[in-house]
Structure 1
Amino acid sequence: MKQYEYLAKQALAEHGIPIPPGRLVNTPEEAAEAVSAIGPAALKAQVLVGGRGKAGGIRFAETPEKARETAEAMLGMDLKGYTVERLYAEGKLEIEREFYISVTTDRNKKVPLVMASLSGGVEIEDVADSEIVRQWVNPRVGVLPYFGRQMAERLGLKGTLAKEFADLVVKLYQIYRERDAELVEINPLVVVNGHLMAADARLNIDDSALFRHKNLERIEEGSALEKKVHEIGLAYVELDGDIAIMANGAGMAMATVDAIQYFGGKPANFLDAGGGASVEPTAQALDVLVSMNPKVIFINIFGGITRCDDVAKAILQVKQTTGIPVPLVVRLVGTNEREGVALLEAAGISAYSDMAPAAERAVQLAGEGRS
């Protein structure tokens, strides 16, 4: 379960990790009051999605009047499929340097992993591997002060910053253990007036451990579209692209996303229609894809339990009722394949038997692909 930034910051503060002054904001008036109290501030949308700054989810206000005006524009806005209902007004910082640090679980080694980098403020996936310091934790020992000192030395930190960083590593691991976290992240960890401070924070709690944390606020994740598809009983995750995808089985859906990316396309979503989904839920899921206004819809079915003729009927049902106003690429193989292909061909829809050429065609129709 993901925590909003303001909740993650509360956890940091409870363990003595410095954070900027901030207030939760629900109305434009509260935003004005916050800036009046703490001075120039960043108004930060409290949504469970990354890349807020680039999407307009972090804006600055120097005066109470500007804060009121900015909050009016931000509250209720759509940010990557999420409605902004609350803001966090946080004191504006004069940042000297930006670092990255996190504690997570290495699922391959089955032990906690502490990662840090002198390159902060960007997604860790965008940082060169050579610039990341990794140090694995022996769960029987935990993170003692020497562990943090070793990491600080590997990063090349000296003096006050090295001491503060070593102390912060210990505290961050304490949060990870006490909260049963999957991830505790500070990005960026900034230097202000020569001292470390958490300018942003993420805290994800292991769902299977929530019974031990009855005092934690339960946060319902997912955008409106994600919730709608989940209600149908299907697995769905929104992505940032424009080629909508439906496949049967998590593995097939992941392979489909990979195939689109391989040919230079941009997947708009991950949608696992499951094995054996009937006509109606499949048609409902396809309706959701149509509502996304993608450039192309790519349906990739390898039928085992799933019947290809049921998938074809769902496609035709949507085509005849709400319509499919964008190019549609279908790959259909497996149980009742002949019946399914025949239904589609009778409606003027061709079906591929191989995934690669179908994925490549979807990318071409979207006007994308490798040059």
Structure 2
Amino acid sequence: MDLYEHQARQLFAEHGIAVPRAEVVDNANAAQQAARRLGGRVVVKAQVKTGGRGKAGGVKPAADPAAAALAARGILGMDIKGHTVRTVMLAEPVDIEAEFYVSYVLDRAAGTFLAIASAEGGMEIEEVAATRPDAVARIPVDPAEGVTEGKARQIAEAARLPLEAAPVLSLLWQVLSREDALLVEVNPLVRTTTGQILALDGKVSLDDNAGFRRSRRGADTDDPHGDPLEAEAAAKGLNYVKLDGEVGIIGNGAGLVMSTLDVVAGCGARPANFLDIGGGASARVMADGLSVILSDPGVKSVLVNVFGGITACDAVADGIVQALETVRLAKPLVVRLDGNNAPRGRAILDARAHPLIQQATTMDDAARRAARLADAA
């Protein structure tokens, strides 16, 4: 579960990390009043669970409360990478002397956590890593030991951060370990002209598997304004994650879906989502999956990649055919069926003879077709 920036900053403050004062509002009048309480001059920031807000015009300085209201009015309702802005955060500005980047992230391959830090904050860390790899320090962190005072100094020295930032590194580890997070990121962490270390922005991803602990202590870590397609899919019991591409993907099994994402990307297209229908591919499941994916305006083609096992391919094909009775298919659909009863499943789709449905016998061919169709749309 990804948190909004204002939720991440709240967690930071609860763990002793200094953040500028801020308020969250959902209309221009409230923004004007909040700006007055914050001293007049503020920064107005869109609250969406995606990056690129600044480039999209979702972060604007305001010199006074009237300008804050105007900025909020312009940002609210914006679409940023498929996320509608429903709230904005107004934060008091600070005078910055230097900007840094710090994060802790789960390193699944190594079975540990990784501290990533750089003295060049305020920009996308991927860009820094690509152009100046020596400017980014990557330090493994043993979760059993955590970030001690000495470990924090080691990370700060490796990344050429000021040593006064070391205590913040320890506190950020507390956020990650005590809040059951998989990612904690601050970009930028700044030193002000008065020497104070502040977290100006925050990104936190919580482990869904530990949700029962948060509910037990009454933690309200989310609100109803997440991505609408993900909310719709969750309501229908679908394992769906929205991405930024143009090829919608449906598969059975997380491993197969992840492989499909990689193959589609290798064909020069971008996946629009992750949707795992698991072991069931009934007409209802297929209709729900297609409905969610086709509701995404960025989707230009859809790829269904199924390996029949417990659920046979003819049942999947029946599900697709029946789903077409309730879902209007207005974009090309490429279907690859393999495994249990695959020939029978292909025959069912051939008999339906829908003009927008193509079949492929291999995953590579299906991905190429889906990518080509998306490019031609």
TM-score, scaled relative to structure 2? 0.86
Q: Give the superposition deviation at 1:320.
A: 4.8
1:297-350 Cα shifts (integer Å, max 9, x gaps): 111111112222233233333445543222222212222222221122223344
Q: Give the superposition deviation at 1:94.
A: 4.3
The correspondence for 2:365, drawn from 352, 357, 361, is 357
The worse-fitting range, judged by mean Cα deviation, of 273-282 and 96-105 is 96-105
The correspondence for 1:295, drawn from 291, 300, 305, is 300
Q: Give the superposition deviation at 1:212.
A: 4.5
CA contact (8 A) 1:115 1:134 kept: yes
CA contact (8 A) 1:237 1:271 kept: yes
The amino acid that maps onto 1:292 is D
Ranges in structure 1 where 5+ consecutive residues have no aligned partner:
none
Ranges in structure 2 where 5+ consecutive residues have no aligned partner:
none
Q: Give the superposition deviation at 1:33.
A: 1.9
The worse-fitting range, judged by mean Cα deviation, of 4-13 and 314-323 is 314-323
The amino acid that maps onto 2:222 is I
Helix, strand or coil: the match of 1:367? helix
1:329 aligns with 2:334: yes
Counterparts of 1:332 and 1:350, CA distance in 2: 11
The correspondence for 1:216, drawn from 219, 229, 236, is 219
Are the structure 2 counterparts of residues 220 and 305 from structure 1 closer, same or farther at C-alpha, using a change threshold of 3 Å? farther
Counterparts of 1:350 and 1:181, CA distance in 2: 42
Counterparts of 2:39 and 2:178, CA distance in 1: 31
1:45 aligns with 2:46: yes
Counterparts of 2:145 and 2:329, CA distance in 1: 58
Q: Give the superposition deviation at 1:61.
A: 2.1
1:195-227 Cα shifts (integer Å, max 9, x gaps): 332110123333444555514214258522112
CA contact (8 A) 1:61 1:67 kept: yes
Counterparts of 2:207 and 2:366, CA distance in 1: 38
1:242 aligns with 2:246: yes
The amino acid that maps onto 2:207 is D
The correspondence for 2:149, drawn from 132, 135, 145, is 145
Counterparts of 2:179 and 2:222, CA distance in 1: 15
1:182 aligns with 2:182: yes
CA contact (8 A) 1:81 1:225 kept: no
> What residue is the counterpart of 2:282 in the other structure?
278
Counterparts of 2:75 and 2:84, CA distance in 1: 9
> Identity percentage over the alignment?
43
Counterparts of 2:350 and 2:27, CA distance in 1: 55
CA contact (8 A) 2:333 2:358 kept: no
The amino acid that maps onto 1:252 is L
CA contact (8 A) 2:28 2:73 kept: yes
Give runs of ≥4 in structure 1 deviating > 6 Å.
Answer: none
Are the structure 2 counterparts of residues 27 and 168 from structure 1 closer, same or farther at C-alpha, using a change threshold of 3 Å? same
Helix, strand or coil: the match of 2:375? coil
CA contact (8 A) 2:283 2:323 kept: no
> What residue is the counterpart of 1:317 in the other structure?
322
Matches within 5 A, 1:82-231: 82-128=83-129, 129-139=133-143, 141-157=145-161, 162-193=162-193, 195=195, 196-213=197-214, 214-219=217-222, 222-231=226-235
The correspondence for 1:258, drawn from 262, 275, 288, is 262
TM-score, scaled relative to structure 1? 0.87
Are the structure 2 counterparts of residues 297 and 193 from structure 1 closer, same or farther at C-alpha, using a change threshold of 3 Å? same
> What residue is the counterpart of 1:9 in the other structure?
9
Are the structure 2 counterparts of residues 319 and 2 from structure 1 closer, same or farther at C-alpha, using a change threshold of 3 Å? closer
The worse-fitting range, judged by mean Cα deviation, of 242-251 and 200-209 is 200-209
Helix, strand or coil: the match of 1:55? coil
The amino acid that maps onto 2:270 is K
Q: Give the superposition deviation at 1:172.
A: 1.9
Counterparts of 2:363 and 2:302, CA distance in 1: 14
> What residue is the counterpart of 2:75 in the other structure?
74
CA contact (8 A) 2:76 2:87 kept: yes
> What residue is the counterpart of 1:21 in the other structure?
21
Provide the aligned length of Structure 1 versus Structure 2: 364
Q: Give the superposition deviation at 1:163.
A: 2.7
CA contact (8 A) 2:7 2:221 kept: no
Are the structure 2 counterparts of residues 65 and 262 from structure 1 closer, same or farther at C-alpha, using a change threshold of 3 Å? same
